[in-house]
C-alpha cells in the first residue's frame, strides 16, 4: 500500500475543500492508498510506440449540412419573455462593471 498518512489525507481534503470526519479520514487512508497503487501499476504498462487516443474505438462525428429553414420571428420568441429590449431578452446584471 502507498505510504499515506492520515495527515496526508487531511491535507488533500483541505485542498479539495472537503470536510471529512475522523472515521472518514481513517477509511480514506486505505482507499486512497489502493487508488495510488492502481495508478502506479497502470503507469508501468509498456506504452512506447502507442499513439495517444481519446477512445479505444475509432469514432466518426456524424454531421449534417446546415440548411436554412423557417423559424420563429423575434416577436413570437420574445412574446413570453418577462422583459425584452431591442429584440433581445433582457436579464438582470450579475457582474459589476470594472
Q: What pLDDT, in 10s, does the model give residues 33-53?
A: 999 999 999 999 998 998 888
* Fold of domain 6-42: Histone, subunit A (1.10.20)
Residue pLDDT, tens place only, 74-96: 999 999 899 999 999 998 888 87
Across 13-52, b (16+ Cβ under 10 Å) vs e yields: eeeeeeebeeeeeeebbeebbeeeeeeeeeeeeeeeeeee
Residue 6 — very low, low, confident or very high, per pLDDT cuts 50/70/90? very high
Confidence check: pLDDT of 98 > 90: no
Residue 17 — very low, low, confident or very high, per pLDDT cuts 50/70/90? very high
Domain boundaries, the chain: 6-42
Threshold 0.75, pTM exceeds: no
Amino acid at each position: 500500500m502507498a505510504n499515506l498518512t492520515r495527515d496526508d489525507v487531511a491535507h488533500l481534503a483541505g485542498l479539495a475543500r472537503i470536510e471529512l470526519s475522523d472515521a472518514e479520514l481513517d477509511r480514506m487512508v486505505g482507499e486512497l492508498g489502493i487508488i495510488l497503487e492502481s495508478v502506479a501499476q497502470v503507469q508501468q504498462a509498456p506504452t512506447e510506440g502507442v499513439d495517444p487516443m481519446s477512445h479505444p474505438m475509432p469514432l466518426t462525428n456524424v454531421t449534417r449540412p446546415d440548411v436554412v429553414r423557417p423559424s420563429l420571428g423575434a416577436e413570437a420568441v420574445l412574446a413570453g419573455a418577462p422583459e425584452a429590449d431591442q429584440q433581445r431578452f433582457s436579464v438582470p446584471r450579475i457582474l459589476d462593471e470594472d
